[in-house]
């Protein structure tokens, strides 16, 4: 573990790369005062599926001026997303080694209504950490931290669906068993649930080996 701090964006079931920061840094800050941005991991995760990578996107409520702080973003109940996401997770990972073991830990998140996106993301991260015995020191930022004023290692822009994880020089994509690997090869940097459902208790070992 590095004796330092890093800054992350809030993410929905974050990718493996995001979780390696919880292992690597002594303290982690999650930005809550940035403006919400579409097409990011804030409301999107990518899982494995029989047809390859599948993006699951949370619908959020629109605001009149289009600007909304991350901490104020509300989840929309549009299009029954909870049942759609849970069906995608269960159908994709039913045959994985650990889905049946962990499904009761995740199902409640898709059976109750959540108001704020950041609360939902935070609760899911806490559950994932609990399941793999990871105990990070995570805090929300007390105010917006501008790029020019950031004294921490800033991953807010680097960990992004449109950025290759190879651009993160601290991250090493360690291959692990994936249920559909025989069909389309190993898919790097998927959502943490891909790692958990496939590797179970060994997920933490993979994470610890995934940073240089």
- Nearest Cα to 200, choosing from 107, 102, 106? 102
pLDDT of residue 34: 95
pLDDT of residue 32: 97
Residue 36 neighbours by CB under 8 Å, 6+ apart: 42, 60, 67, 68, 69, 70, 73
pLDDT at 98 over 90: yes
pLDDT at 147 over 90: no
Contact 8, 156 (CB under 8 A): yes
| DSSP three-state, residue 81 | helix
pLDDT at 66 over 90: no
Q: Give the rounded percent of residues in the chain with a pLDDT score beyond 90.
A: 90
User: Strand 2-9 relative to strand 25-31: parallel, antiparallel, unpaired?
Assistant: parallel
Picking from 66-75, 115-124, 142-151, which range would have the lowest pLDDT averaged per residue?
142-151
pLDDT (average), residues 72-84? 93
> Could you tell me the CA-to-CA distances from 47 to 94, 109, 158, 194 in Å, in that order?
13, 17, 19, 6
| DSSP three-state, residue 24 | helix
Partners of 55 in the beta sheet? 46
pLDDT (average), residues 175-191? 96
Rounded Cα distance between 131 and 118, Å, is: 20
- Nearest Cα to 139, choosing from 4, 3, 5? 5
Domain ranges, residue 172: 2-208
Residue 88 neighbours by CB under 8 Å, 6+ apart: 47, 49, 54, 56
| DSSP three-state, residue 191 | strand
The pTM is what?
0.95
Partners of 25 in the beta sheet? 2
9's tokens: 């964006």
pLDDT of residue 212: 77
pLDDT at 195 over 90: yes
Residue 143 neighbours by CB under 8 Å, 6+ apart: 33
pLDDT at 185 over 90: yes
Domain count across the chain: 1
Taking the alpha carbons of 48, 18, 37, 68 in that order, is the dihedral positive or negative? positive
pLDDT (average), residues 189-203? 98
């Amino acid at each position: 573990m590095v004796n330092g701090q890093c800054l992350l964006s809030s993410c929905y079931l974050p990718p493996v790369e995001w979780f390696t920061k919880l292992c690597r840094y002594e303290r982690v800050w999650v930005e809550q005062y940035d403006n919400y941005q579409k097409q990011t991991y804030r409301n999107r995760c990518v899982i494995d599926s029989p047809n390859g990578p599948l993006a699951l996107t949370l619908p959020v409520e629109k605001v009149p001026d289009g600007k909304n702080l991350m901490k104020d973003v509300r989840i929309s109940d549009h299009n029954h997303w909870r049942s759609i996401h849970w069906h995608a997770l269960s159908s994709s990972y039913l045959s994985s080694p650990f889905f049946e073991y962990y499904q009761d830990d995740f199902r409640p998140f898709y059976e109750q209504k959540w108001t704020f996106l950041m609360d939902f993301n935070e609760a899911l991260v806490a559950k994932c950490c609990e399941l793999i015995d990871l105990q990070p020191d995570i805090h929300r930022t007390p105010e917006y931290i501008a790029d020019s004023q950031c004294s921490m290692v800033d991953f807010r822009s680097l960990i992004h669906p449109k950025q290759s994880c190879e651009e993160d020089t601290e991250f090493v994509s360690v291959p692990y068993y994936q249920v559909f690997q025989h069909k389309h090869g190993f898919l790097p940097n998927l959502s943490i649930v891909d790692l958990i459902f496939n590797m179970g208790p060994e997920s933490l070992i993979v994470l610890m080996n995934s940073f240089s």
